[in-house]
Chain A
């Protein structure tokens, strides 16, 4: 019962965060990205306000209905899975509502007047955003994770814990095998490879500079890029720590002599997760501040060629532009970077993101 409550409260909390994000999404970029399109300031402050109010009402009503119904049924049957389903359904509904309103705003779009662009001819490489000490630390942690498992593999019981509840007690089990024992650290290695590919791509992200404020923009966007890189590095370090800690949890819940460390290891996992989230929020806040400073200095925070503007879809959430040679572009709505879905490189990334995990699941099931 206690676990059910924790799951439901976590889900409810994420629902509140989700709702807040969707409420804010259309106006995140002001009149430059109202539902993802540039509109006149008088439209933004005039009829745009009405559209925004209708959108928010629809959003709150649908969210409230789906969540109330879903969680009530979940509590009735005592099935947390139903609460998860309600959360997914409300997310899908939010996207649909946002997309529908974005379509109504699209005819109001006006073209950007910036036609002169600059380049600082600066060469950017992944190496510029790599710290050797961090790479060494991550490698050491990953190595230690595997070393611990290899060292204690013979002592592990036939019935292996693979899932733990909020207080660190095992509640999911599997038969001991190389696959069940090494699945988690292998997943960690996969995540590290994924993050490195992500960093490499982001290092080569498009950096459009308006000629009028080339210098301020170059400085701002380079800070923005390095804040995003540090966000990824923070996530990488957290993932390395987290998987090391999961292996510790595996050992303290199965090998008697380590049992007394259970409490410490369990507290450590909460600290790592909290630290990871705090860091991610901090760096997103940094990126927001950098863009705000840029806007204060130049009146703009995002410039793009007039020809590129109309290639944003789904209310500025996705970018599909076959004429744009860049794979990674800064998000128009939100913070960070997104992919140009029309770029041929997208297939290799999709394979890495979706294909590898699917293959692993298939391999484990057939072992």
Chain B
């Protein structure tokens, strides 16, 4: 069983957190193609957030091709790969994160360990 987590103390808006959490589960293989997601109303109720917050998150995932939303049938995972994005676009957030770690004074070996840990964590549910 896999969970998405929302942190009220986090600076990111709630809808972004939902998008990123669902992406994490799709990327890690916890949510496979065709897996149903709860209706907007139910997820909003469980997390105690506004309906629009969840709807916005679902729409964004739909726009990226990860979610199929059919009226009445609810949302399902459409694909386990997001729409094609250029290699440069994919590298950019990684470069930003690595810059942050270097500025924080981490050494090369430590950074490699962190990257490896995170990747293993993501892929844990993939099999």
Contact residues of A with B, CB < 8 Å? 115-124, 204-209, 211, 214-215, 218, 304-308, 323-326
CA distance A124 to B41 in the complex (A): 12
Question: Is the CB–CB distance between A326 and B45 below 8 Å?
Answer: yes
CA distance A205 to B46 in the complex (A): 8
Question: Is the CB–CB distance between B48 and A206 below 8 Å?
Answer: yes
Identity of the chain A residue whose Cβ is nearest the Cβ of B25 in the assembled complex: A121
Chain B residue contacts of A206, Cβ below 8 A: 45-46, 48
Chain B residue contacts of A119, Cβ below 8 A: 3-4, 6, 38, 43, 46-47
Question: Is the CB–CB distance between A123 and B48 below 8 Å?
Answer: no
A-B contact pairs, 25 of them (CB 8 A): A115-B8, A118-B6, A119-B4, A119-B38, A119-B43, A119-B46, A120-B2, A121-B2, A121-B31, A123-B36, A123-B38, A124-B38, A204-B41, A205-B45, A206-B45, A208-B48, A209-B3, A211-B5, A214-B3, A214-B5, A215-B3, A218-B1, A218-B3, A305-B8, A325-B50
Chain B residue contacts of A117, Cβ below 8 A: 5-6, 8, 47-48
Q: Which of B22, B39, B46 contacts A207 (CB 8 A)?
A: B46
Q: Does B44 contact A (CB under 8 A)?
A: yes
Identity of the chain A residue whose Cβ is nearest the Cβ of B49 in the assembled complex: A325
Q: Does B100 contact A (CB under 8 A)?
A: no
CA distance A121 to B41 in the complex (A): 12
Q: Does B82 contact A (CB under 8 A)?
A: no
Interface 1/0 per residue, B1-45 and A, CB below 8 Å? 111111111000000000000100100000100001111011111
- A115-B8, A123-B38, A123-B42 given; name 11 further pairs at CB < 8 Å: A116-B8, A117-B47, A118-B5, A119-B38, A123-B74, A207-B46, A211-B5, A215-B3, A305-B48, A325-B44, A325-B51
CA distance A39 to B51 in the complex (A): 31
Contact residues of B with A, CB < 8 Å? 1-9, 22, 25, 31, 36-39, 41-51, 74
CA distance A116 to B43 in the complex (A): 15
Q: Which of B25, B39, B45 contacts A123 (CB 8 A)?
A: B39
Question: Is the CB–CB distance between B42 and A124 below 8 Å?
Answer: yes
Name the distance in Å between A213's Cβ and chain B's nearest Cβ. 11
Question: Is the CB–CB distance between A116 and B46 below 8 Å?
Answer: no
Max chain B C-beta neighbours (<10 A), residue from A115, A117, A124, A207: A117
Name the distance in Å between B28's Cβ and chain A's nearest Cβ. 13
Question: Is the CB–CB distance between B38 and A122 below 8 Å?
Answer: yes
Chain B residue contacts of A211, Cβ below 8 A: 3, 5, 7
Chain A residue contacts of B48, Cβ below 8 A: 117, 206, 208, 304-305, 307-308, 324, 326
Chain B residue contacts of A124, Cβ below 8 A: 38, 42
Question: Is the CB–CB distance between A204 and B3 below 8 Å?
Answer: no
CA distance A326 to B50 in the complex (A): 10
Name the distance in Å between A310's Cβ and chain B's nearest Cβ. 13
Chain A residue contacts of B51, Cβ below 8 A: 325
Given contacts A206-B46, A323-B50, contact A120 B7 (CB under 8 A): no
CA distance A324 to B41 in the complex (A): 10
Chain B residue contacts of A121, Cβ below 8 A: 2-4, 22, 25, 31, 37-38, 43
Chain B residue contacts of A306, Cβ below 8 A: 8
Identity of the chain A residue whose Cβ is nearest the Cβ of B6 in the assembled complex: A117
Name the distance in Å between B68's Cβ and chain A's nearest Cβ. 15
Chain A residue contacts of B31, Cβ below 8 A: 121
CA distance A214 to B21 in the complex (A): 15
Name the distance in Å between A150's Cβ and chain B's nearest Cβ. 39
Question: Is the CB–CB distance between B7 and A116 below 8 Å?
Answer: yes
Chain B residue contacts of A122, Cβ below 8 A: 38
Name the distance in Å between B103's Cβ and chain A's nearest Cβ. 27
Name the distance in Å between A206's Cβ and chain B's nearest Cβ. 4
CA distance A115 to B41 in the complex (A): 21
Question: Is the CB–CB distance between A116 and B6 below 8 Å?
Answer: yes
Identity of the chain B residue whose Cβ is nearest the Cβ of A210 in the assembled complex: B5
CA distance A248 to B105 in the complex (A): 85
Chain B residue contacts of A123, Cβ below 8 A: 36-39, 42, 74
Chain B residue contacts of A120, Cβ below 8 A: 1-3
CA distance A218 to B4 in the complex (A): 13
CA distance A209 to B2 in the complex (A): 13
Chain A residue contacts of B49, Cβ below 8 A: 325
